[in-house]
Amino acid sequence: MSRQDSKVWFITGSSRGLGRALVAAVLDAGDPVVATARRPETVAEAFGEYGDRVLPLALDVTSPDAARTAVEGALAHFGRIDVLVNNAGYANVSPIETADEDDFRAQFETNFWGVYNVTKAALPVLRRQGSGTIVQFSSVGGRVGGSPGIASYQAAKFAVDGFSRVLAVETAPFGVRVMVVEPSGFATDWAGSSMTVHSIPDAYDETVGAMNRLVRQNTAGAAGDPRRAAEIIVRTVRRDEVPGHLLLGVNAVTMAQDHSRRQLAEATAWEKVSRSADHEEPYPVQLPTEERP
């Protein structure tokens, strides 16, 4: 691949999990990468053999100043940014009722505001270039929701999706594309050392407790292969057209399709009621028949 054809990637959360797998896939594809992390030395140790094709940079995504400094460092080294990947994120477990407010906010600072900070820092660069791709890591939970115990994480992922939908419309005239990645479970330490499980009261054992046992005490491990996911993302970004949302994993596809069917069925069942809220529509109308056990 010629230097002219290569794309400069800027990836957050590069020291572990899907972020680290993506750095490897990008380098294997022949592209240079700015690999950011809170501890960039771990990235340097892992990918030192690639020389100046990989630029490890320190980045705390919760800091707008740090985001701007990292983007400036990327430009100083490579001269441009073609693909921005907002991957950094984590989840802790606790019921909403008993969750520590500071912890809840701290998760949101990384999982949503981190995306906002880095995206905003890079936007002037992409706009001036007249091209670029922004890849936002969400989760299938950011589409379907309802996973007990990780309300802050899923709320942030819903926010990332809404933010990215507006971003896509605003930046399309500049030649900038936006793709939201929605994985299901992957064999990373997302549910391991990266996750803190707070006290789960007995009242929430059948919801939060059950989900925690399913995720953290499943000896079979997650079905998703981080290497494959990373390679799919690299191949997809190289296309002339990218999907607005890229599901990754069997469970992600199944959950998303089931969710869409339920949404459509509910909207259809309540259609006459919903329409009746407008002035010119018939009113009142009968509510849908309730299904009783």
pLDDT tens digits, the chain, 293 residues: what are they?
445 579 999 999 999 889 999 999 999 999 999 999 999 999 999 998 999 999 999 999 999 999 999 999 999 999 999 999 999 999 999 999 999 999 999 999 999 999 999 999 999 999 999 999 999 999 999 999 989 999 999 999 999 999 999 999 999 999 999 999 999 887 666 555 667 888 899 999 999 998 888 776 565 556 788 999 999 999 999 999 999 999 999 999 999 999 999 999 999 999 999 999 999 999 999 999 998 77
- Is 94 among the residues known to form the active site? no
Among 94, 116, 139, 153, which one carries the catalytic annotation? 153
Among 14, 15, 94, 138, which one carries the catalytic annotation? 138
- Is 157 among the residues known to form the active site? yes
CA distance 104 to 240: 39
Q: How far is CA 265 from CA 61, 260, 286, in A?
A: 40, 9, 17
Q: What is the pTM for the complete model shown?
A: 0.93
Contact 178, 217 (CB under 8 A): no
Domains and CATH numbers, the chain: 9-248 (3.40.50.720)
Among 157, 164, 184, 204, which one carries the catalytic annotation? 157
Contact 134, 167 (CB under 8 A): yes
- Is 138 among the residues known to form the active site? yes
